[in-house]
Amino acid sequence: MEEKGFATIGAVVEKVDDLVWGPWMLALLLGTGIYLMVRLRFLPLKNLKYALLCTVGKEKSLRGRFAKVSLREQGGAGVSAFSSLTTELAATIGTGNIVGVATAMVLGGPGALLWMMASSLLGMAVKLVESTLSVKYRIRNGNNEFAGGPMYTMARGLPDKRVGKLLGTVFAVFAVMASFGMGNMTQSNSIAEAMEVTFGVPVYRTGLVVTVLTILVVLGGIGSIAKVTRVLVPLMGIFYLAGTMGVILTHFREVPEGICQIFVMALCPGAAWGGACGQLCVSVPQALRWGVSRGVFSNEAGLGAAGISAAAADTADPVRQGYISMTGVFLDTMVICFLTGLAIAASGVLGSVDEKGQLLTGTALTIAVFRTAFGELGAAFVSICIVLFAFATIVGWAYQGEKAFEFLAGTGYCIWYRFFYGLVTYVGTVCSLKVVWDFSDICNALMAVPNLICVLWMSGEACREIQEYENRK
């Protein structure tokens, strides 16, 4: 009876997920990206190199010289611009880059990867605007810390204060829910699965360890979170990319065919992909739906959560921090997700089935891909990467969820949010993966709607500031 109840809940959640991620949401996300990219005259693409240099404190002047820029620019109320970016990347570089890409390419075929890349290019414009506005309209809270994000942009920046307060509240509520779903339970579930499948560690033991570590890190607030992400994010990124390149080089002869299939299945209706033990038949709308939704899940462009981390930076210029925040989309999707998807496509494993005749997906598919290059060591490698990526996301989202909670309840109750957030980590390890992912997708969509309304409403102001910054630069 209890299992039937859970199955019913799962079916309801799945139907809601399909509804909120229907054509209207894809049109809203892609349409906003296209509108902003054109209105900004493609500055996010033109200034990508400049933005990457800003992340390490080196900016190219108009004369072609490089100048070292301090990463701590003003008075101690926040963290460095680089730490702000690594906190943001910690929240975005997670299982979406490994499990999420594999899931998208099973449900949407190899073509989903192309739509993931396309949406991320447009997402750079969205993230530049939303992060710029978040820094501009941030405040100092009662602890003399910066607090910002779309909820403050809506409440303080929109002309109609009542509408702004309402939209800000709606966004904050769904951001808190997303922190428990996308930022926490999805990640802890992936950690538990990886540890059980690869190393035979019981789920409850993994849950206890991850819960304790999460509480220890997040209790210190943005200071301790930034210290962890500043070290963990660069190291885990290099570690994972080295392994992924190993897979691609092992199958370098199959890379051209894999790239061809990515384009064919993204653009040609009725195309099919033949795997080692089966075949995937998907439509272009399926590829578009899963590519865009998993791309948003991975890089969070359009959700607004990145603006919360951007607002924590000790920077005097909102646009400069917006550019730094924008690079997160490029590094997350255009680099890590692309190489993951290319490795999957070239390996020939996509479309394979397990001993029960079911399609390999998620962690199991990624492990099978890395096994083709590294044997049994590949399973251990993927599991370690999932653990590192997922834990970084858990602690990164703890800050973003806390600031949304602070907007709703004030600073006095944040300590309780941190404890509860840590406890939810354990819940995620024992939940059904499908239900957790569907719930996370729903929260993503419900966050994106008020944020994109705000971004479009205030796009004129943001684009003027970005153009003025371009003239000064």
| DSSP states along 140-202 | E-TTS-EE-SHHHHHHHHSSSHHHHHHHHHHHHHHHHHHHHIIIIIHHHHHHHHHHHHHH---
Residue where the block lists tokens 């530049």: 128
Of the listed ranges 145-159, 217-231, 271-285, the least confidently predicted one is 271-285
- Out of 48-52, 298-302, 373-377, pick the least confident: 298-302
pLDDT of the residue at 63: 38
Alpha-carbon span 305 to 302, nearest angstrom: 8
Euclidean distance between CA atoms 193 and 176, whole angstroms: 25
Residue 388 has pLDDT above 60, yes or no: yes
Question: Residue 68 is encoded by which pair of tokens?
Answer: 């070292």
Kindly state the tokens that stand for 58. 């080196």
Confidence of residue 433 (pLDDT cuts 50, 70, 90): low
> Under the phi-then-psi rule, with left for phi > 0, alpha for psi from -120 to 50, and beta for the rest, what region is 61?
beta
Report the alpha-carbon distance of residue 467 to residue 464 in Å, rounded: 5
pTM, two decimals, is 0.85
Q: Into how many domains does the chain fold?
A: 1
Pairing of strands 139-140, 66-68: unpaired
**pLDDT over 60 (residue 70):** no
d(CA 299, CA 198): 27
Is the Cβ–Cβ distance between 455 and 29 less than 8 Å?
Answer: no
**Mean pLDDT of the 197-223 span:** 85
CA distance 263 to 368: 23
Structure letter (DSSP) for residue 278: -
Which tokens sit at 364? Answer: 């199991």
CA–CA gap between residue 254 and residue 95 (Å, rounded) = 25
Please report the pLDDT score of residue 151 as a whole number.
97
3-state secondary structure of 300: coil
Instruction: Check which CATH number belongs to the domain holding 446 and give it.
Output: 1.20.1740.10
| Residue 452, both tokens | 């994109």
Q: Can you give the residue range of the structural domain that contains 321?
A: 2-472
Instruction: Answer yes or no: is pLDDT of 367 > 80.
Output: yes
**Six token digits for residue 245:** 């390149």
Q: Are 84 and 72 in contact (CB under 8 A)?
A: no
Encode pLDDT of 304-362 as tens digits.
888 998 898 888 889 999 999 999 888 888 888 899 999 999 988 887 777 777 777 77
Question: How many Å from the N-terminal Cα to the C-terminal Cα in the chain?
Answer: 65
